[in-house]
Structure 1
């Protein structure tokens, strides 16, 4: 796979191999992912995919369920891992969330990736930060929504329903991962003033599904 990373022209093929690896991993692990589509992403369209983040399993599941060519935006610490870190740096976008300059560069790279027709997969909570799982951490980060608005591409919320139950810490307990692709949220004609509205729609969509699944009272959206 490393040979295919030498040229940017072969990144798409290398990314496809990475996705295939994820699918094979879940198959042989017996973790057969159940995908529920409220909306089926169009193969030739570009999207910003956003999901809740409670488990270390989330990233691998995202790699296995999103069939588009995409860049994952994740912590810079991943890029420091042997071998896997090299792949991550070449195919995806690393961000040091504690560094304002790094966050700015990440935003620019994400906008450019979308402009080239490459989708983005990102967790708008900014990490596994919730202290009350399955309640999402608030407020959501602006980055994913700025990327989408700047390019006028749709946002697709994804609910990872039970991944925390399957892998709450670092040990997999078993079970069948269940994910939901929600209706796309259009951003054409919108601007940065509309970002709070987009954040609220995404939050209510993802958290609403979690509230229903875990039989919890609705959790209000918090902007600041």
Structure 2
């Protein structure tokens, strides 16, 4: 059944992408159209989860103002993470994505036009991407970033630490709050393993209370990184513990 469901999800994504891409392509040809393209991509993502029969359950301990800018930091264990965060984060935002995403036909072009690409191995690329992120925040858009720097952990669902600096440098510099997001179970639905197989389950996301940065300086960056890590990791630990208890009592 998992193979059939995986095939269905793949076909569904392809059909939705083909239907939406012409409109998105037209919109991303000029700066003023990017917000419309952004809305179309969000709609496409939400439709995917609806038609896949995969409800998204959101624990909103904080309700972001869609008109304000935030730096959203989430754990990253699954290729599903981008689709989920893109569907649930309100407002106009930009992802920070690996340069390699640009190599995916059509999708890579769309992603590069809407979001910010970075080659983490190149200092010049990192500096350019950071400057672009700061410009985006000044425009009132949010940033979504996976501060682990990719799917790097060998012990899912334990995160890689320390986090990369970028998210926290920009948040402090612009005095914009960091909003931790816990993507609770994406790694179970679409594990980072070959061959890729999708398992049906409701998607679970937690919006945590924002961590303020007003008054912080770059000297406080390590503390801010640790605070963000602890909030997300505590939620993941709680989930692991409850699952362990469920198995013990089963």
| TM-score relative to the length of structure 2 | 0.84
Shift of 1:171: 1.4
Alpha-carbon contact 2:66-2:92 (below 8 Å) kept: no
Residue 82 of structure 2 aligns with which residue? 59
Task: Look up the SS of the partner of 1:215 in the other structure.
Answer: helix
Residue 220 of structure 1 aligns with which residue? none
The correspondence for 1:152, drawn from 157, 161, 175, is 175
Shift of 1:103: 1.1
The correspondence for 1:126, drawn from 149, 153, 157, is 149
Give the number of the structure whose residues are more often helix, by fraction: 2
Residue 49 of structure 1 aligns with which residue? 72
**1:40 maps to 2:81:** no
- In the comparison of the two structures, how many residue pairs are matched? 216
Residue 93 of structure 1 aligns with which residue? 116
Task: Look up the SS of the partner of 1:156 in the other structure.
Answer: strand
Task: Look up the SS of the partner of 1:203 in the other structure.
Answer: helix
Taking the TM superposition and a 5 Å limit, the aligned residue runs for 1:144-223 are 144-169=167-192, 170-215=196-241
Between 1:162-171 and 1:70-79, the stretch displaced more is 162-171
**What runs of 5+ residues in structure 1 fail to find an aligned partner?**
217-224
Structure 1 segments (4+ residues) deviating >4 Å: none
| TM-score relative to the length of structure 1 | 0.94
The correspondence for 2:128, drawn from 105, 113, 133, is 105
**1:141 maps to 2:164:** yes
- CA RMSD, Structure 1 to Structure 2 (Å): 1.0
Shift of 1:31: 1.2
